[in-house]
């Protein structure tokens, strides 16, 4: 991946123009974890990204902070905590920010996690 980071042909955007291009989430079969993928515009300055997963009642089910990622294509696993019942409807919010600018972009998706006992 390092060759992409050092490629002078790839235009990099300043912080105020950096954006979240795509946000995807796929539940693992166990119903307790999500595989999350984020695509960002190539950036000059490394951003901060906050992820927040809430259930259909608005209760926080998972969070993650990504501080100054090296790449603009990211994958991670979120663990769903305090699930009263397995499965259900969730909302995942991703917020991209910089300390000096605050939030510059956000994406939100809805998803359904299946009950693994069914």
Distance CA 90, CA 98 (A): 26
Nearest of 28, 20, 33 to residue 61 by alpha carbon: 33
Each residue's pLDDT tens digit, 14-36 = 999 999 999 999 999 988 899 99
Which class is 2-111 in CATH? Answer: mainly beta
State residue 105's pLDDT score.
98
Phi/psi of residue 22, nearest 5 degrees: -155, 145
């Amino acid at each position: 991946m390092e060759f992409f980071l050092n490629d002078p042909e790839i235009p990099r955007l300043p912080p105020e123009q950096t954006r979240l291009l795509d946000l995807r989430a796929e539940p693992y079969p166990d119903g307790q974890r999500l595989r999350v993928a984020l695509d960002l515009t190539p950036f000059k300055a490394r951003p901060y990204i906050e992820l927040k997963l809430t259930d259909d009642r608005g209760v926080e089910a998972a969070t993650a902070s990504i501080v100054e990622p090296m790449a603009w294509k990211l994958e991670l696993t979120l663990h769903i905590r305090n699930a009263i019942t397995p499965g259900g409807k969730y909302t995942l919010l991703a917020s991209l920010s910089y300390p000096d600018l605050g939030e510059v972009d956000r994406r939100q998706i809805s998803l359904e996690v299946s009950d693994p006992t069914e």
